[in-house]
C-alpha cells in the first residue's frame, strides 16, 4: 500500500538564542499514520513540534507538507492542513465551550465571513460527538482537564485538517480520559503526530514512534523496534522490562522501581 | 546675620531691602515711593515700567528660596493666592521677616497701603495713598450707585469657557459700576460653563479681560448667537486684565473703564434688545 | 472543584436553555430601545428649560412639518445639544471599542487606551501645542499635536516591548509610557500660569462643550473606519483569546495583528482625545459590562461595546451639564469617579469568589 508522504522533515536544525536545540532531524510521516514522539523532558519534543506547525522557523533544513515547504505559504493556509492540540490552555476571558470550538473555523473563513447555518450544524454535531452537549454554554475555564481536551478535539475536528499534531495531550488527564481521548483520535480519518510521556500509551496507539534525545532523532520505526530495553535504559536512565502486552500485540513497558 | 526674627510686623530697624513676591505689592511699593527698595520680585511684575528691571526670583511655580536667603532682605511680602504655601511657611520657619499680604477684597487695598507704609517707615505716604484710593473709590461708587444695573458676563477664559462668578472678589469691581453678574453660583467662583449657560443668562454685555497682554480666543464663535443681547447689540468690551485681576491701586483704572463700558451699554438699550427669557418661557 | 461545579452547571444549564431565546430577545430589544431613545431623551436636559414636547416639535419641523416652537429653543437643540450628544456618543463608542479590542488582543481584562499610554501621549501632544503656541492655537494644530503624541506613545510601547510583542512586556511598557507622558504633561502644567493651566486641564479632564457640527466629521469617519476593520478581524481576534500559540495554530498572524490593532486603537483614541480631551475608564468599564451581558454571544462584544459605550457617554454628559447648577463638570471627573467604584466592585467580586 503506497501512502503518500504527508509530512517530510529534511535536515532540520533549529537554534534558539544561539543554542542548538534540534540537530539534523530527518523523518517523514505517511498519510493515515498515527505517529508518536517520545523522549525525556528537554529533549526538544515541543520545539520540534513547533517547527512542524509553523511557529519556529528552521535555522537549517526544511519542513514540507504534501511536498511543499510550509514556510512557502501563509500561516492561514497551513492551518487548513494542520491542526494542533496543546497541553496548556490559557485564560479565556469569558469564552464558552461553543466559542472555543467555533475557533476551528478561523482558517477557513475570510475577513468578513460570518458563521453559516451549515457551520452551526457542524458544530452541534461535533459537540455531541465529544459528549459535551450539556456544557455547550459553560465557560471554558471552568471545565476539567479531560473536558477541555475534548473541546480542543472538537475544535480540531472542525478545523478539519489532514494532519493533527498533539503536544502531550494526555498529560493532565486521568487514565480514563487519556484512553478515551486517544481512542477517539484514532478513529478519526486524520494523520496524527502526538508526543507522549506515558510510554505504554505510545506503544498502544502508535503505528510508528520517534525517539528524540538532546535534539537528535535517535530512532524512528515501529514501536517494537524503537521501544527496546536498551533504548529506554540509555535514554531515560531507568531500568525497564519490555515484553509484549498480554491483550494486544504491541510492547508493554514495565518499570523496575527497586534496586 | 541674614534675617532677624521679629515678634510682629512693626520693627525698629529700617526696611531698605524688600523682596516683593507679587506684582501688586510691587505696584503698591512704587505708589508709596519705595520702589527703589525692592531688590527682587516674581515674574509678571511689569508695572510701573521700571519694575521690569528688578531681578526675578520665581513665579507661580515657586520661588528660589536659596536666592532669597542670599539676598539678605529686611522684609519679604508674600501672597497667599500667588505664592506656594510651602514656600511661605519655609521662609517663615527660616526666621525671615515675612508678611502675608491680604488680598481678595477690594476694601483691603487701602488697608494694605497703610500697613505697607507702617512696615517700611513711610506711614504718611501710606496714609495718603490709602485716603486717595478710598476717595476715588467712593467717588466712583457714588457716581454709579443710582444707575440701572447692567447684567454682565465676565468671560475669564475661552477654551474651556470659564466665567468669573458672583463669589469672586473681582465682582466688587463690577458692582461698583452698577454691574450684576449673570452667573451667581454660590459654590464656584470661576465655573466652567457652556454656550447654553450664557444663552440662558442673556447678559447685556461681555467683559473680556486679557491675560498677560493677550486676549484668549476671538468672539467669532459668539457671533453665531445674536439671541444674546450683548452680541446683538455688539456690547463686547476688552479690558486689560492686569487692571482687573491685580490687587493694586490701578484696579480703579480698570474699574473706570468698566464703568465707561457699562454706561455705553445703558445708552445702547434704546435700540433693539432681544429678551431671551421671554422667548424661552412662552410655550 | 469540578465535581461540585459540574452538577450545578448542568442544572443551571437546562433552566437556561429554556430561557435563552427569550433572554437574547430581551437584550436585543433593550439595545435598540436604548440606542433610539437615549439621544431623544437626553436632549431634553440642559441649562435651558426644554421639554420633550419641544424636542418632538423641533424634530417634526426638521422633517418638514409645521410646529410651534421658539426659534431659540430650536437653535439650542439643533446647534448646541444635538452635536454634543453625537460627540458624546462617538467618544463613548470609540473609547469602548478601543478598550474592547485592546482587552482582546492582550487577553487582559484591565487593558484600555490609558494603560498603553495612548491617552496620556495624546493629551501631552495637545497640551504641548497649547502651551507653546498659546491658548488661541487652532483646532487643527491641537488635533495634530494629539495625533503625534498618541502615535509616539504607541511607537515607544512597541519598541520597548521588543520584537516578540509579548503581552507582559507590552503592558509594562504601556504603564511606563503612560507615567512618562503624564509627568511630562504635569511638568508643562506646572510651568504655565494658572489660567493657562486651567485651559490645559481640559485636555486632561475632558469635556464635550466644544462640540459643533463642523468638528464631528473627523471622529465619525475614523470611528466608522476602525469599527469596520475591527469587525473584519473579529474572528482572528477571538482566536487570540485562547493563547498566542493556539491562535498561530489556527493560522492567525498574531504579532502583526497585535501591532495593527494597537496602532488602530491609538488612532482612534488620539482622534477622540483631540476632540474632547482625555476621558478615562470608559474603555475599561464598558467592555467588561458588555461581556457579562453578552455571555453567550462573544461575536457581538465589539458592536455591543460600541453601542453601550456610546449610550453610556450620552448619559454621562447629561450628568456633566446637570450636576452643578449653571456650570459644567468635566466629563473625565465623572468617569473617573465611576471607574473607581467599578474597580472596587470588581475587586470585591473577585476576592469573594476566589
pLDDT above 50 for C120: yes
CATH number of the domain residue C276 falls in? 1.10.3470.10
Domain boundary among B107, B137, B167: B137
| B158 and B64 belong to one structural domain | no
Question: Are B210 and B123 members of one domain?
Answer: no
- Tens digit of pLDDT for each residue in A7-36? 999 999 999 988 999 999 999 999 999 999
Place of cell 488680598: B103
Q: Other C-beta atoms within 10 Å of B41: how many?
A: 27
Give how far C263 is from chain B: nearest CA, Å: 29
Neighbours of C79 (CB within 10 A): 17
Give the pLDDT confidence score for residue B189 in this predicted structure: 87
Distances (CA, A) of B182 to A228, B218, C109: 97, 21, 47
Share of chain C above pLDDT 70, in %: 88
Q: What is the pLDDT of residue B1?
A: 38
Q: Does C195 touch chain B (CB under 8 A)?
A: yes
Q: What's the rounded Cα separation, in Å, for the pair B255 and B245?
A: 11
Q: CA–CA separation, B54 vs C299, rounded Å?
A: 69
Q: Which three cell numbers stand for residue C169?
A: 512586556
CATH code for the domain of B273: 3.40.50.1980
**Total domains, chain B:** 2
More confident of the two residues A90 and C36: C36
Q: What share of chain A is helix, strand, coil (3-state, %, to 5)?
A: 35, 30, 35
Look at residue C42 and tell me if it is in a domain: no
What is the count of structural domains for chain C?
1
Residues of A in contact with C298 (CB under 8 A): 94-96, 99
Beta bridge partners of A191: A163
Distances in Å between the alpha carbon of A241 and those of A224, A229, A232, C299? 13, 6, 9, 54
Which of 161-200 (B) contact C at CB < 8 A? Answer: 161-163, 165, 183, 185, 187-188, 190-197, 199-200
C-beta separation of C61 from C67 below 8 A = yes
Residue in the block written with cell 465619525: C220
pLDDT score of A171: 83
Domain that holds residue C215: 86-353
Q: What's the mean pLDDT in C262-266?
A: 85
Mutation pick from C48, C206, C327, C330 vs chain B, by most beta carbons of B within 10 Å, is C327
Residues B133 and B166 in one domain: no
Q: What angle do CA C103, C107, C108 make, to 5 degrees?
A: 60
B156 CB within 8 Å of a chain C CB: yes
Q: Which residues of chain A make contact with C236, given a CB cutoff of 8 A? A: 106
> What is the crossing angle of helices C254-276 and C217-232, to 10°?
160
Task: Give yes or no for residue B133 having a pLDDT over 90.
Answer: yes
CA distance C12 to A228: 52
Choose one of B137, B157, B174: the last residue of a domain: B137
CA distance C298 to chain B (A): 40
Mean per-residue pLDDT over chain A, rounded: 91
CB A140 within 8 A of CB A149: no
How many C-beta atoms lie closer than 10 Å to residue C257's C-beta? 18
CB atoms within 10 A of CB A41: 7
Q: Which domain holds residue B93?
A: 18-137
For residue B30, pLDDT over 90 is answered with yes
Contact A182, A250 (CB under 8 A): no
Return the residue matching grid coordinates 449657560.
Answer: B197
Q: Mind listing the domains of chain A with CATH numbers?
A: 5-255 (3.40.50.300)
Whole-number pLDDT of residue B44: 85
Q: What is the pLDDT of residues A240-250, one digit of tens each?
A: 999 999 999 99
Q: Is the peptide bond before B48 cis (omega within 30 degrees of 0)?
A: yes
And the C-alpha cell for C142?
491641537
Residue C30 in domain: no
Question: Which single residue is written with the C-alpha cell 435563552?
Answer: C20
Contacts of C4 in chain A (CB under 8 A): none
Which member of C46, C48, C325 has the closest CB to residue B185? C325
* Predicted pLDDT of residue B279: 46
% of chain B beyond a pLDDT of 90: 49
- CB contact, 8 Å: C186 with chain A? no
Question: Would residue C75 count as lying in a domain?
Answer: no
Sequence-separated (6 or more) residues with CB below 8 Å from residue B179:
B149, B150, B151, B152, B258, B262
Residue B7's pLDDT band, with cuts at 50, 70 and 90, is very low
Same domain flag for B160 and B276: yes
Q: Do B154 and B60 share a structural domain? A: no
Same domain for B186 and B118: no
Do residues B167 and B105 touch, judged by C-beta distance below 8 A? no
Higher pLDDT, B86 or C21: B86
Considering chain B, what is the average pLDDT of its residues? 85
Residue B121 or C110, more confident: B121
Distance to chain A for C233, nearest Cα, Å = 6
Q: Which residues of C touch A173 (CB under 8 A)?
A: none
Q: Is residue C57 part of a domain?
A: no
d(CA C346, CA C285): 10
Annotate B22-90 with DSSP letters as a single string: SHHHHHHHHHTT-GGGEEEE-TT---SGGGGGSPB-EETTEE-HHHHHHHT-SEEEEETTTS-HHHHHH
Residue A16 DSSP symbol: E
Establish if C144 touches chain A: CB-CB under 8 angstroms: no
Helices and strands in chain B, H and E counts: 12, 11
pLDDT at B6 over 50: no
- What subunits touch chain B, counting only 3 or more CB pairs under 8 A? C
What are the φ/ψ torsions at residue B208 (nearest 5 degrees)?
A: -120, 110
pLDDT tens digits for range B242-273: 899 888 999 999 999 999 999 999 998 876 55
| B2 within some domain | no
State the nearest Cα–Cα gap between C150 and chain B, in angstroms.
22
Calculate how close chain A gets to C175, using CA atoms only, in Å: 21
pLDDT at residue B277 greater than cutoff 60: no
Would you say residue C351 has pLDDT above 80? no
Share of chain A above pLDDT 90, in %: 67
Mutate to test the interface with A, among C14, C20, C240, C250 (most CBs of A within 10 A): C250
Cβ within 8 Å of B, C 147-176? none
Check C251 against A77: CB less than 8 A apart.
yes
**Hey, which residues does A85 pair with through a beta bridge?**
A166
- Asked whether residue C337 is assigned to any structural domain, the reply reads yes
Res. C59: pLDDT tops 90:
no
Output the pLDDT for position B142: 94
The verdict on B13 touching C (C-beta cutoff 8 Å) is no
Highest averaged pLDDT of the listed ranges A81-85, A133-137, C32-36: A81-85
Integer distance in angstroms from the first to the last C-alpha of chain C?
12
* B99 shares a domain with B171: no
Closest by alpha carbon to B200, among C40, C80, C60?
C80
Q: Which of B115, B137, B159 is the last residue of a domain?
A: B137
The answer to whether residues B122 and B193 belong to one domain is: no
- At C108, give phi and psi (nearest 5°): -125, 115
Residue C115 lies in a domain: yes
Amino acid at each position: 500500500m503506497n501512502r503518500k508522504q504527508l509530512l517530510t522533515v529534511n535536515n532540520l536544525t533549529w537554534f534558539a538564542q544561539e543554542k542548538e536545540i534540534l540537530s539534523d532531524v530527518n523523518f517523514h510521516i505517511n498519510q493515515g499514520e498515527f505517529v508518536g514522539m517520545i523522549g525525556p523532558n528537554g529533549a526538544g519534543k515541543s520545539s520540534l513540534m513547533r517547527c512542524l506547525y509553523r511557529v519556529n522557523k528552521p535555522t537549517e533544513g526544511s519542513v514540507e507538507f504534501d511536498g511543499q515547504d510550509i514556510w512557502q505559504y501563509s500561516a492561514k493556509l497551513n492551518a487548513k492542513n494542520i491542526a494542533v492540540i496543546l497541553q496548556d490552555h490559557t485564560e479565556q476571558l469569558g469564552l464558552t465551550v461553543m466559542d472555543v470550538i467555533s475557533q476551528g473555523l478561523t482558517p477557513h473563513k475570510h475577513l468578513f465571513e460570518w458563521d453559516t447555518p451549515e457551520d452551526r450544524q457542524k458544530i452541534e454535531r461535533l459537540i455531541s460527538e465529544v459528549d459535551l452537549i450539556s456544557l455547550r454554554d459553560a465557560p471554558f475555564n471552568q471545565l476539567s482537564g479531560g473536558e477541555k481536551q475534548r473541546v480542543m478535539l472538537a475544535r480540531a475536528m472542525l478545523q478539519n485538517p489532514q494532519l493533527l499534531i498533539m503536544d502531550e495531550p494526555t498529560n493532565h488527564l486521568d487514565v480514563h480520559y487519556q484512553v478515551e481521548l486517544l481512542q477517539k483520535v484514532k478513529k478519526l480519518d486524520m494523520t496524527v503526530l502526538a508526543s507522549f510521556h506515558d510510554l505504554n500509551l505510545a506503544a498502544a496507539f502508535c503505528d510508528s514512534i520517534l525517539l528524540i534525545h538532546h535534539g537528535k532523532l535517535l530512532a524512528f520505526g515501529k514501536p517494537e523496534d524503537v521501544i527496546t530495553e536498551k533504548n529506554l535504559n540509555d535514554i531515560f536512565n531507568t531500568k525497564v522490562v519490555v515484553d509484549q502486552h498480554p491483550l494486544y500485540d504491541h510492547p508493554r513497558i514495565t518499570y523496575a522501581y527497586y534496586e | 546675620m541674614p534675617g532677624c526674627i521679629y515678634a510682629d510686623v512693626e520693627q525698629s530697624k529700617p526696611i531698605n531691602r524688600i523682596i516683593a513676591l507679587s506684582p501688586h505689592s510691587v505696584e503698591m511699593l512704587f505708589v508709596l515711593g519705595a520702589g527703589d527698595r525692592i531688590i527682587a520680585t516674581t515674574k509678571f511684575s511689569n508695572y510701573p515700567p521700571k519694575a521690569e528691571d528688578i531681578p526675578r526670583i520665581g513665579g507661580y511655580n515657586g520661588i528660589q528660596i536659596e536666592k532669597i536667603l542670599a539676598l539678605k532682605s529686611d522684609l519679604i511680602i508674600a501672597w497667599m493666592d500667588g505664592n506656594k504655601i510651602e514656600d511661605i511657611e519655609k521662609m517663615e520657619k527660616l526666621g525671615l521677616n515675612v508678611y502675608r499680604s491680604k488680598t481678595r477684597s477690594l476694601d483691603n487695598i487701602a488697608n494694605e497701603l497703610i500697613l505697607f507704609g507702617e512696615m517700611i517707615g513711610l506711614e504718611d505716604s501710606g496714609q495718603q495713598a490709602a485716603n486717595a484710593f478710598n476717595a476715588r473709590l467712593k467717588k466712583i461708587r457714588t457716581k454709579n450707585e443710582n444707575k440701572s444695573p447692567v447684567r454682565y458676563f465676565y468671560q475669564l477664559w475661552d477654551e474651556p469657557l470659564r466665567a468669573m462668578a458672583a463669589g469672586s472678589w473681582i465682582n466688587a469691581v463690577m458692582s461698583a459700576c452698577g454691574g450684576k453678574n449673570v452667573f451667581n453660583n454660590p459654590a464656584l467662583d470661576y465655573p466652567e460653563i457652556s454656550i447654553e449657560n450664557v444663552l440662558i443668562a442673556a447678559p447685556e454685555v461681555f467683559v473680556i479681560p486679557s491675560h498677560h497682554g493677550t486676549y484668549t480666543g476671538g468672539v467669532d464663535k459668539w457671533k453665531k448667537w445674536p439671541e444674546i443681547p450683548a452680541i446683538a447689540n455688539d456690547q463686547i468690551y476688552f479690558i486689560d486684565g492686569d487692571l482687573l485681576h491685580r490687587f493694586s491701586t490701578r484696579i480703579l483704572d480698570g474699574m473706570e473703564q468698566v464703568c465707561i463700558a457699562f454706561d455705553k451699554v445703558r445708552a445702547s438699550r434704546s435700540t433693539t434688545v432681544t429678551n431671551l427669557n421671554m422667548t424661552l418661557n412662552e410655550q | 472543584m469540578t465535581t461540585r461545579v459540574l452538577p450545578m452547571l448542568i442544572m443551571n444549564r437546562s433552566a437556561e436553555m429554556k430561557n435563552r431565546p427569550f433572554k437574547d430577545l430581551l437584550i436585543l430589544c433593550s439595545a435598540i430601545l436604548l440606542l433610539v431613545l437615549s439621544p431623544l431623551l437626553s436632549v431634553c436636559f440642559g441649562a435651558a428649560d426644554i421639554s420633550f414636547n419641544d424636542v418632538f416639535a423641533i424634530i417634526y419641523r426638521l422633517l418638514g412639518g409645521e410646529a410651534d416652537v421658539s426659534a431659540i429653543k430650536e437653535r439650542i437643540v439643533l446647534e448646541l445639544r444635538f452635536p454634543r450628544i453625537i460627540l458624546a456618543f462617538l467618544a463613548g463608542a470609540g473609547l469602548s471599542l478601543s478598550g474592547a479590542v485592546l482587552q482582546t488582543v492582550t487577553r487582559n481584562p484591565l487593558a484600555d487606551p490609558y494603560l498603553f499610554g495612548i491617552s496620556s501621549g495624546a493629551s501631552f501632544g495637545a497640551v504641548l501645542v497649547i502651551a507653546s503656541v498659546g491658548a488661541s492655537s487652532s483646532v487643527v494644530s491641537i488635533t495634530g499635536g494629539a495625533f503625534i503624541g498618541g502615535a509616539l506613545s504607541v511607537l515607544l510601547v512597541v519598541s520597548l516591548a521588543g520584537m516578540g510583542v509579548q503581552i507582559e512586556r507590552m503592558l509594562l511598557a504601556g504603564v511606563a509610557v503612560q507615567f512618562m507622558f503624564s509627568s511630562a504633561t504635569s511638568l508643562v502644567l506646572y510651568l504655565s500660569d494658572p489660567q493657562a493651566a486651567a485651559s490645559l486641564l481640559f485636555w486632561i479632564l475632558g469635556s464635550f462643550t466644544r462640540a459643533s457640527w463642523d468638528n464631528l466629521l473627523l471622529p465619525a469617519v475614523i470611528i466608522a473606519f476602525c469599527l469596520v476593520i475591527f469587525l473584519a478581524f473579529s474572528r482572528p481576534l477571538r482566536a487570540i483569546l485562547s493563547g498566542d500559540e493556539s491562535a498561530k495554530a489556527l493560522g492567525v498572524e498574531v504579532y502583526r495583528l497585535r501591532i495593527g490593532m494597537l496602532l488602530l486603537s491609538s488612532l482612534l483614541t488620539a482622534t477622540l482625545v483631540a476632540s474632547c480631551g482625555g476621558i478615562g475608564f470608559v474603555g475599561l468599564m464598558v467592555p467588561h459590562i458588555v461581556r457579562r451581558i453578552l455571555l453567550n454571544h462573544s461575536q457581538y462584544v465589539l458592536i455591543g461595546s460600541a453601542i453601550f459605550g456610546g449610550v453610556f457617554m450620552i448619559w454621562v454628559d447629561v450628568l456633566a451639564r446637570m450636576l452643578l447648577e449653571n456650570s459644567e463638570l468635566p466629563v473625565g471627573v465623572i468617569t473617573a469617579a465611576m471607574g473607581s467604584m467599578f474597580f472596587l466592585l470588581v475587586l470585591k467580586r473577585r476576592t469573594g469568589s476566589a
